[in-house]
């Protein structure tokens, strides 16, 4: 307690606040230039993103040992329905010669389809940095004066990289602007103040700059992997949690300003009272994210520490900069509703007091009805499909997908994304060619040291299909000493890795969250009930989201990463609001008894938690305008889950369960009287 008092006094002290503020000015000045360079370290294609230890990852790691290194094919399809002409062949040949300087390996002459209606030109490009720029030069060339009636499209890995790059370039900055506008709107409605809304937004912006700078420095100098889309998740997470924590502290500070004549003492008390739920919330989300370090999928593994850095940054800003800023500015920032010492607390009878009385009338009926609603929504997930094909990885149909369809209509359907088989024996080619589902095996290529042989294997089925994955399994059995990757093998390894991560990470996250709840609430029954309701709301959001995605937005499936990402954010963030509510309920119950404590806790926290839920739902919901289907699905699901937690689970089901179970809710302990604050100067103490 003594330590917490001293720590709380630092940012809220009469003198020390003037040391905290300049320190943060210096930190921000150092952070902004580095934060602006975060996009420089985003890697669009890296073995770090792939399943750790999988065969497809090993193939990618071995690729630099071959001539040309790690190649990304830029495949150009030339299609004429009436059959390609001599002029079409001349155009393809002219493109081959013009684009050869971009290639990282010799460019073979265009191949002709068996039906004579299509040509295929493969420009092998160096993968990695600059791939999108090279692909754009190819697209610029082939779109220049195409012969009438000849359709020309760029596809392959280079075409996909270009499509993704184009899509992100259009939304990155507007996405952050829309997020800030939505958060601002919610805060203006919440506070109805022309000044106060700016403080949480400013603190969230500073948190984002600092965490982005830390992530950039770790990526640049310590090898931290940052994938496409990870920065957008970081933006939503940091903006959301920082604003949430700021709202909670602001609400408690406003209360204490009515109890203390000195605003510095009011802030010190607010920090002591709000620290436990805020720190527990940050610990829940951070440790939940760090559970991803047990993941096999590289993207999941890398997101864990990046997300934890973001949450920690938000916590530090809210617990140091925000208090110093508020006490330095004084009470006037709450204008026009400035809290004065001795003011009576808000009159009872508000929205959340009425909700509490309604729940208290028949708590068992209420929580059973609430759980029934969650169960009905969860039924929507019964027909769910996972595993998006390449055609739907963007929300619009990209040019590379159109090109792949053109190739599939005239060439073997695995042509655009062949498998790569790496072996130490040249005799493997014969065994590979005999496997059903293999269309052909390209000429073998020796590694630079002559020890390895690489075979490009074209399948008869599209790489996204179940039949292609079955062929990969058969290949791995037929040539157990070889390593099979790329194409359908990569899709198979990714799906297997995600299934492993769901089995491992989800139980671990639940265990971590349960332990934190037990420590904070010093109870067993309440944490178990809370965990149950949050998991139920996850499945409800999953069911509602699937109905929306499938029947309204037309997505054929969920991306394989969505179920785990949505669970992680929904459970960790959903528990936050229950932490905020129950920590206050416990405090009030020690003063006035269990039933009154539940109703008082709901009444005083209802407004701020609802606002926090709306802010968090908005920050993740903005991901719904992104062009990447995976991000859309994660954003919408998390937003749905947060709204369910905020307005059904936290405000109705959990209070009903607490009232129905009575004091046993806190078993084996009970709220201690010393945990409570002094009564309000105009508010009689409960007897």
Tens of pLDDT, residue by residue over 571-589, are: 877 787 888 888 888 888 8
Backbone angles phi, psi at 72, to 5 degrees: -120, 110
Which is higher by pLDDT, 476 or 227?
Answer: 476
**Is residue 411 situated within a structural domain?**
no
Tens of pLDDT, residue by residue over 377-424, are: 999 888 888 777 777 777 777 778 888 888 888 887 777 778 888 888
Are the C-beta atoms of 71 and 125 separated by less than 8 Å?
yes
Residues 6 and 21 in one domain: yes
CA-wise closest residue to 660 among 601, 595, 605: 595
Mean pLDDT for all residues in the chain: 84
pLDDT of residue 325: 93
Residues 89 and 205 in one domain: no
Pairing label, strands 42-43, 226-227: parallel
- Per DSSP, the residues of 550-618 read HHTS--SSB-TTHHHHHHHHHHHHHHHHHHHHHHHHHHHHHHH-HHHHHHHHHHHHHHHHHHHHHHHHH
Domain that holds residue 107: 55-162
User: How many domains does the chain divide into?
Assistant: 3
Type and span of the H or E element at 126: strand 118-126
**Is residue 687 situated within a structural domain?**
no
Residue ending a domain, choose from 485, 518, 534: 485
Residues 39 and 78 in one domain: no
Per-residue pLDDT, averaged over 491-504, amounts to 86
SS (H, E, C) 222-269: HCCCEECCHHHHHHHHHHHHHHHHHHHHHHHHHHHHHHCCCHHHHHHH
CB atoms inside a 10 Å sphere around CB 174: 11
Residues 90 and 181 in one domain: no
Residue ending a domain, choose from 162, 179, 200: 162
Are the C-beta atoms of 616 and 643 separated by less than 8 Å?
no
Residues 267 and 379 in one domain: yes
Residues 563 and 509 in one domain: yes
- Tokens 């699937």 — which residue? 546
**Is residue 293 situated within a structural domain?**
yes
Residues 498 and 478 in one domain: no
Residues 134 and 269 in one domain: no
Residues 378 and 506 in one domain: yes
Residues 241 and 268 in one domain: yes
**Is residue 191 situated within a structural domain?**
yes
Which pair of structure tokens corresponds to residue 201? 């937004």
**Is residue 299 situated within a structural domain?**
yes
Q: Is 264 exposed, middle or buried (0-12, 13-18, 19+ CB in 10 A)?
A: middle
What distance in Å separates the CA atoms of residue 562 and residue 41, rounded to the nearest whole number? 24
What distance in Å separates the CA atoms of residue 416 and residue 156, rounded to the nearest whole number? 5
**Is residue 81 situated within a structural domain?**
yes
Residues 326 and 297 in one domain: yes
**Is residue 452 situated within a structural domain?**
yes
Residues 239 and 329 in one domain: yes
Are the C-beta atoms of 419 and 456 separated by less than 8 Å?
yes
Tens of pLDDT, residue by residue over 599-628, are: 998 988 888 888 888 888 888 888 877 777
**Is residue 683 situated within a structural domain?**
no
What distance in Å separates the CA atoms of residue 623 and residue 179, rounded to the nearest whole number? 9
Residue ending a domain, choose from 130, 162, 194: 162
Tens of pLDDT, residue by residue over 75-100, are: 899 999 888 898 888 998 999 999 88
What distance in Å separates the CA atoms of residue 626 and residue 630, rounded to the nearest whole number? 9
Q: What is the CATH number of the domain that holds 449?
A: 3.30.70
- Tokens 């190819």 — which residue? 138
Type and span of the H or E element at 306: helix 298-316
Tens of pLDDT, residue by residue over 210-245, are: 999 999 999 888 888 887 777 778 888 888 889 889
Are the C-beta atoms of 404 and 157 separated by less than 8 Å?
no
């Amino acid at each position: 307690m003594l330590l917490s008092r001293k720590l709380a006094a630092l940012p809220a002290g009469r003198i020390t606040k003037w040391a905290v503020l300049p320190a943060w000015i210096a930190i921000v000045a150092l952070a902004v230039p580095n934060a602006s360079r975060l996009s420089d370290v985003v890697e669009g294609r890296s073995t770090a993103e792939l399943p750790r230890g999988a065969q497809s990852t090993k193939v990618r790691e071995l690729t630099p040992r071959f001539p040309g290194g790690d190649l990304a094919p830029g495949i150009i399809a030339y299609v004429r329905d009436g059959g390609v002409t001599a002029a079409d062949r001349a155009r393809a040949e002219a493109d081959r010669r013009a684009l050869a300087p971009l290639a990282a390996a010799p460019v073979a002459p265009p191949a002709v389809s068996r039906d004579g209606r299509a040509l295929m030109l493969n420009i092998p490009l160096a993968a990695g940095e600059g791939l999108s720029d090279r692909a754009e030069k190819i697209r610029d060339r082939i779109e220049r004066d195409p012969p009438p009636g000849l359709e020309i499209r760029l596809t392959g890995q280079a075409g996909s990289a270009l499509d993704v790059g184009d899509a992100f370039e259009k939304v990155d900055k507007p996405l952050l602007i829309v997020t800030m506008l939505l958060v601002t709107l919610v805060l203006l409605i919440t506070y109805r103040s022309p000044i106060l809304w700016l403080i949480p937004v400013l603190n969230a912006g500073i948190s984002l700059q600092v965490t982005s700078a830390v992530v950039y420095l770790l990526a640049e100098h310590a090898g931290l992997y940052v994938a496409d889309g990870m920065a957008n998740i970081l933006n939503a997470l940091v903006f959301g949690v920082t604003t949430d924590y700021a709202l909670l502290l602001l609400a408690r500070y406003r209360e204490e300003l009515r109890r203390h004549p000195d605003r510095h003492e009011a802030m010190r008390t607010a920090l002591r009272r709000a620290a436990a739920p805020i720190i527990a919330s940050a610990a829940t989300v951070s440790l939940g994210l760090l559970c991803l370090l047990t993941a096999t999928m590289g993207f999941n593994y890398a997101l864990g520490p990046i997300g934890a850095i973001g949450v920690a940054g938000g916590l530090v800003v809210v617990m140091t900069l925000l208090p110093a800023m508020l006490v330095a500015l004084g009470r006037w920032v709450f204008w026009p509703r400035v809290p004065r010492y001795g003011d009576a607390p808000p009159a009872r009878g508000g929205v959340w007091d009425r909700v509490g009385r309604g729940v208290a009338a028949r708590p068992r009926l209420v929580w059973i009805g609430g759980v029934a609603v969650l169960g009905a929504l969860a039924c929507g997930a019964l027909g769910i499909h996972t595993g998006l094909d390449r055609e739907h990885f963007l929300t619009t149909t990209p040019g590379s997908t159109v090109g792949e369809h053109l190739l599939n209509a005239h060439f073997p359907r695995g042509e655009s994304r062949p498998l790569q088989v790496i072996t130490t024996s040249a005799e493997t080619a014969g065994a590979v060619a005999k496997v059903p589902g293999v269309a052909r095996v390209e000429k073998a290529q020796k590694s630079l040291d002559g020890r390895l042989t690489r075979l490009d294997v074209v399948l008869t089925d599209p790489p996204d299909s179940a039949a292609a994955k079955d062929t990969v399994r058969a290949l791995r059995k037929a040539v157990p000493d070889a390593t099979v990757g790329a194409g359908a093998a990569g899709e198979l390894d990714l799906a297997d890795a995600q299934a492993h991560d769901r089995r491992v990470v989800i139980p671990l996250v639940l265990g971590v969250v349960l332990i934190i709840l037990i420590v904070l609430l010093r109870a067993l029954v309440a944490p178990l009930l809370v965990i149950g309701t949050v998991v139920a709301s996850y499945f409800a959001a999953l069911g509602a989201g699937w109905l929306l995605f499938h029947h309204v937005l037309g997505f054929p499936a969920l991306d394989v990463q969505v179920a785990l990402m949505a669970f992680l954010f929904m459970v960790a963030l959903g528990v936050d609001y229950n932490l905020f509510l129950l920590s206050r309920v416990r405090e009030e119950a020690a003063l006035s008894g269990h039933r009154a404590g539940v109703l008082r806790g709901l009444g005083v926290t209802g407004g701020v938690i609802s606002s926090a839920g709306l802010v968090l739902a908005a920050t993740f919901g903005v991901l719904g305008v992104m062009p990447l289907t995976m991000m859309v699905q994660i954003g919408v699901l998390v937003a749905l889950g947060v709204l369910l937690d905020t307005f059904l689970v936290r405000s109705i089901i959990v209070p009903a369960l607490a009232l129905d179970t009575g004091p046993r809710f806190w078993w084996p302990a009970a709220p201690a009287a010393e945990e409570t604050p002094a009564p309000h100067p105009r508010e009689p103490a409960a007897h």
